[in-house]
């Protein structure tokens, strides 16, 4: 009987720890924040190319 209680307590503790770890995770960042972090990590030359592509895509979308 005592062994069963110890096993139940251990299982409950493990389940509680797993629940805490899952709930403690950060939510995924939105696309805009991820894009800005990516741009900030690029060199100025690479950044210019990406920014030009985004602006071209934006400009081509306005014509529709």
Q: Based on the number of CB atoms within 10 Å of its own CB, is 15 exposed (0-12), middle (13-18) or buried (19 or more)?
A: exposed
Q: What is the mean pLDDT of each run of 10 residues along the chain (64 residues)?
A: 92 93 74 83 83 89 65
Would you say how long the chain is, in residues?
A: 64
Dihedral (Cα; 26, 32, 34, 39), 10-degree rounding: -150
Domain boundaries, given as residue ranges, for the chain: 2-62
**What's the pLDDT at 14?**
96
32 vs 38: CA distance, rounded Å: 10
Where b means 16+ CB within 10 Å and e means fewer, 42-51 reads eeeeeeeeee
């Amino acid at each position: 009987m005592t062994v069963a209680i110890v096993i139940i307590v251990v299982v409950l503790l493990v389940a509680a720890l797993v629940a805490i770890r899952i709930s403690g995770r950060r939510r995924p960042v939105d696309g805009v924040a991820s894009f800005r972090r990516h741009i900030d990590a690029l060199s100025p030359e690479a950044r210019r190319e990406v920014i030009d592509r985004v602006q071209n895509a934006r400009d081509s979308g306005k014509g529709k």
